[in-house]
Amino acid sequence: MKASRIAGVEDAAYRIRRYALGMGEVQGQGYVGQALGAADILAALYTDQLTFRPAEPEWEGRDRFLLSTGHYAIGLYAAFAEAGIVPVEELETYGSDDSRLPMSGMSTYTPGMEISGGSLGHGLTVAVGYALGLRARGNPARVVNFLSDGELDEGSTWEAAMGAAHHRLGRLTAVVDINALQADGPTAGVLRTEPVVEKWAACGWNVQRVDGNDVPALLAAFDAVAAQAADDGAPSVILCDTKVGRGVPLLEEREKAHFMRIEEHEWAICREQLDEGHRARTETRQEAAL
Ligand SMILES: Cc1ncc(C[n+]2csc(CCOP(=O)(O)OP(=O)(O)O)c2C)c(N)n1
Ligand SMILES: [Mg+2]
């Protein structure tokens, strides 16, 4: 895999994290940890994998990306800004009255937002419908559903998983952010969903499990899925183990991480820590290139 490809996605992930911190600061609290944790996945999708036209979000040929975890919208808005779908300057309106960027993702408000999330466990069911509909119309676009480990608690997710395999929706991909966290605490304590690889495989899916904060590993997994995507085949799932707050050590260590309260003076520290990590990575890359 080309070093320039990896560097491009890693740099995009850095900017997505930077944008998310900016949006979080507007509100002083929120789902910043999830955006930081999922930034590498979103960067891989929006700068490397998905086909779309930034200025034409409803273009029929676009791949459909469905965010079922509405509260992750902060991360997706940052990815939209990186992809040129919404202007960077608009991000500061996040969560404000009359903004196109509400705290929970809503399709009627935001260009590029395919579905309204928030009521967890529905994304994959809608994605199955999208995939069936596209196939019926002979449209080869791919459907990608991003879901959380908390959504694996929902029966509807598993109904959809079985339905997708039954209907051989080979152009459907599920990307699960396994950050081991839910609103009520660690996933393992709320409802034990492991072993997840075996569960998805038993439902008839092609399964990969990767470090969701490792860009080369993510790209390799997405490439494998793209190579397999077929009109009439097994759907694919990429199970991504991620770290809440990734890239900002101060937030990685937070215990109450689902909805973080970040003090006024801490935002600058967050940015410094993120920038420091990015600087270090850039230097390592430059040394490797010498
Ligand atoms: C059907 C449904 N049940 C409960 C909730 C309340 N709720 C909002 S976020 C959340 C946590 C779900 O887990 P996950 O998405 O993994 O959370 P995170 O990793 O962001 O902490 C819950 C239970 C909801 N939005 N929808
Ligand atoms: Mg979670």
pLDDT tens per residue across all 290 residues of the chain:
999 999 999 999 999 999 999 999 999 988 999 999 999 999 999 999 999 999 999 999 999 999 999 999 999 999 999 999 999 999 999 999 999 999 999 999 999 999 999 899 999 999 999 999 999 999 999 999 999 999 999 999 999 999 999 999 999 999 999 999 999 999 999 999 999 999 999 999 999 999 999 999 999 999 999 998 888 899 999 999 999 999 999 999 998 899 999 999 999 999 999 999 999 999 999 998 88
Whether the model pTM is above 0.85: yes
Could you give the CA distance from residue 146 to residue 178 in angstroms, rounded to a whole number? Answer: 11
Does the C-beta of 36 come closer than 6 Å to ligand 1? Answer: no
Residue nearest (by alpha carbon) to ligand 1 atom 21: 182
Ligand 2 midpoint to CA 178 (Å): 6
Residue nearest (by alpha carbon) to ligand 1 atom 3: 120
Q: What residue numbers bound the domain in which 49 lies?
A: 3-289
Does the C-beta of 34 come closer than 6 Å to ligand 1? Answer: yes
Ligand 2 midpoint to CA 105 (Å): 17
Does the C-beta of 148 come closer than 6 Å to ligand 1? Answer: yes
User: Cα dist. 43→26, 109, 126, 199, 288 in Å?
Assistant: 22, 22, 23, 27, 23
Contacts of 66 (CB under 8 A, 6+ apart): 114, 115, 123, 126, 127, 130, 143, 144, 145, 146
User: Cα dist. 146→26, 120, 124 in Å?
Assistant: 25, 11, 8
**Number of domains making up the chain:** 1
Residues with CB under 5 A from ligand 2 (ion): 148-150, 179, 181
Does the C-beta of 104 come closer than 6 Å to ligand 1? Answer: no
> Left if phi > 0, otherwise alpha if psi is -120 to 50, otherwise beta: which for 28?
left
Does the C-beta of 121 come closer than 6 Å to ligand 1? Answer: yes
Per-residue b or e along 116-131, where b marks 16 or more CB atoms closer than 10 Å to that residue's CB: bbbebbbbbbbbbebb
| CATH number for the domain harbouring residue 250 | 3.40.50.970
Position 87, amino acid: P
Yes or no: say if 219 and 5 are a contact pair by the CB < 8 Å rule.
yes
Q: In degrees rounded to 5, what are phi and psi of residue 177?
A: -85, 100
Does the C-beta of 188 come closer than 6 Å to ligand 1? Answer: no
Ligand 2 midpoint to CA 227 (Å): 28
Beta-carbon count within 10 A of 271 CB: 16
Ligand 2 midpoint to CA 113 (Å): 21
The DSSP secondary-structure symbol of 31 reads: S
Does the C-beta of 122 come closer than 6 Å to ligand 1? Answer: no
Q: pLDDT at position 290, please?
A: 81
